Structure 1
Amino acid sequence: MGFDHLYDFLERLQVNNNKEWMEVNRKEYQTVRLWFIDWLTEMQERLVEIDPDYTDTNVKRSINRINNNLMFQPNKPIYKDHFGAGLDLSYHEKQNDFYLQVGLEQSFIAGGFYKPEVKVLKSIREAIDYNGEELIAIIEKPSFKKIYGDLYDDGDSLKTAPKGFPKDHEHIDLLRKKTFAVEYPLTREQILSPDFADLYIKLYKEMKPFRTYFTEAVSV
């Protein structure tokens, strides 16, 4: 069992994206899912060894459901084309975890806060106002910049300064953001490589200071 089997299952599931096929093949789905849990558990053991601040994760509960939420996305297929899970759950709302998605259309590693609730966003902006220099040093570090590039941007930043902050604030570009996250796209070749586990650990190490900054911001 390995990521090649995971991809094979997802490919057949997307061709047969219906409940009848899934019921017939549910045992195989559970086998693939359990393998993915085992792989993530091995990664967690390595992360605990290298990171004294690692937050222990219930790996089985960290994996996303394979079913799409058709109540809010009625036009989507019944089943997703990917497996996803986040480790190091350092925030109770399951944001700012170290997230891995392995899928047919999109695979990536990500972390940070994606459109957090108003209270959390306020805490993040207060941290930037107080000590934005630390965040800038993290995201402008050459090795971080090379791997993760710029902060995730889907065009939803404020057009002006958020309430309570001057328009000429030295960190106004950061304060206007509503999402504070980074992403590293993965290819199938990378995931199927025997070195993928080492790449996973490397990406975790590089993202850790970024995630720690925001964890501390919302924990005050």
Structure 2
Amino acid sequence: MNMQLMLDYLAELEENNEKDWYHAHKEEYTKANAQFLELVEHLNLEISKFDSSVSLYEPKQLTFKLMRDTRFSKDKSPYNPSFRAHIGPKGKLPIPVGYYLMIRPGGKSFLGGGLFADMFKDATNMIRDYLLSHGQEWEEIIGAPEFTRHFTVDGSKLKNVPRGYDADHPQAEYLKYKSWYLEYTLEDSKLTQDAFLSSAIEIFRAMKPFNDFLNQALENFQMPQR
């Protein structure tokens, strides 16, 4: 697959983020997007080999549109100049958590894992409660050499431990979080290397214990009905 084709198209879209340009360059989009779908299909297959919770989906079921919802944003540019996908047990649904990929030029690409969404209060509370009784397991996961070599836990969080939780708990700092995720950043040069695919799989494999922990906490989560 041609990673450079993706990067070149997205860089041009970022410079010309308007509907007229997008429609005038639909052929370039089609070619670049086809390369991204090929990448997602390969990643889905390889991830399913080491994570049995992940099923095989059509690549289009795992990707997100370029069009942005600008109704509540100060930024009115119509497109998000990035190719994005989430490969999880339920496809691109954020819960159960899975493996996230964003391709965006300028060193903004990354591989991700964990819970990025913090709008599901039930999910946040379930993870906090699970942390209370599985703190040792959590520390073993985030303290493992393979983990610390690549990741630090990130996420939106409160200034203080929320009401109802012990501020002196050993995992008190993580109880402040509303989301818990990992990001492994990718320079453009890494994306175009021949070894990118195999290295991406290894990074995702290193995320699996973290994802497994969160999904155990979220086992009975029900996605809100629209």
Provide the C-alpha distance between the structure 1 equivalents of 2:43 and 2:15, rounded to a whole number of angstroms.
31
The letter of the residue matching 1:142 is P
Task: Report the TM-score when normalising by structure 1.
Answer: 0.90
Counterpart Cα distance in 2 of 1:83 and 1:90: 19
- TM-align CA RMSD: 1.9
Within-5 A mapping of 1:72-87: 72-87=72-87
Q: Does the 8 Å contact 1:158/1:178 carry over to 2?
A: no
Question: Which one is further off, 11-20 or 87-96?
Answer: 87-96
Deviates more, 1:10-19 or 1:192-201: 10-19
Q: Distance in 2 between matches of 1:66 and 1:122?
A: 32
Contact 2:45 / 2:56 at 8 angstroms: preserved in 1? no
For residues 42 and 74 of structure 1, the distance between their equivalents in structure 2, rounded to whole angstroms, comes to 36
**What displacement does 1:92 show?**
7.8
Q: What amino acid is the match of 2:105?
A: L
Tell me which stretches of 4 or more aligned residues in structure 1 moved more than 3 Å. Answer: 55-58, 89-93
Question: 1:41 aligned to 2:44?
Answer: no
Counterpart residue number, 1:211: 211
Would you say the 8 A contact 1:87–1:99 is kept in 2? yes
Q: Which has the higher helix share?
A: 1
The C-alpha deviation readout for 1:97-136, integer Å capped at 9, x for no partner, is 2001110241111111122511111110111011111111
Separation of aligned partners in 1, 2:92 and 2:102: 20
- Offset from partner CA, 1:34-83 (integer Å, 9 cap, x none): 22111211222222233333243442122111112211224242222211
Query: Given the two structures, how large is their TM-score scaled by the length of structure 2?
Result: 0.88
Alignment of 1:54-133 (within 5 A): 54-90=54-90, 93-95=93-95, 96-105=97-106, 106-114=108-116, 115-133=118-136
C-alpha change, 1:46 and 1:93, in structure 2 (3 Å) is closer
Residue 141 (1) aligns with residue 144 (2): yes
Q: Per-residue deviation at 1:142?
A: 1.1
SS in 1 for 2:111: strand
Structure 2 Cα separation of the partners of residues 198 and 76 of structure 1 = 37
Using the TM superposition, give the Cα deviation of residue 153 of structure 1 relative to its aligned residue in structure 2, in angstroms: 4.5
Give the whole-Å Cα distance in 1 for the aligned partners of 2:12 and 2:170.
52
2:113 maps to amino acid: G
User: What does the per-residue CA deviation read over 1:1-49, in whole Å, with 9 as the maximum and x for residues that have no partner?
Assistant: 5110111111222232221121121122122112211121122222223
Aligned residues between the structures? 217
Q: Which runs of 5+ in 2 are unaligned?
A: 221-226
Tell me, what secondary structure is at the counterpart of 2:17?
A: coil
Does residue 152 of structure 1 match 2:154?
Answer: yes
- Residues 146, 32 of structure 1: alpha-carbon distance in 2 compared, 3 angstrom cutoff: same
What are the superposed Cα offsets for residues 147-193 of structure 1, whole Å, 9 maximum, x if unpaired? Answer: 01x21145x3241x323222222221111222211111111011000
The 2-side partners of 1:92 and 1:126 are apart by: 25
Letter in 1 for 2:5: H
Is residue 61–residue 91 contact of structure 2 (8 Å, CA) maintained in 1? no
Which residue identity is paired with 1:103? R
Q: Are the structure 2 counterparts of residues 217 and 102 from structure 1 closer, same or farther at C-alpha, using a change threshold of 3 Å?
A: same
Cα distance in 2 for partners of 1:187, 1:89 equals 28
Report if the CA contact (8 A) 1:56-1:88 is conserved.
no
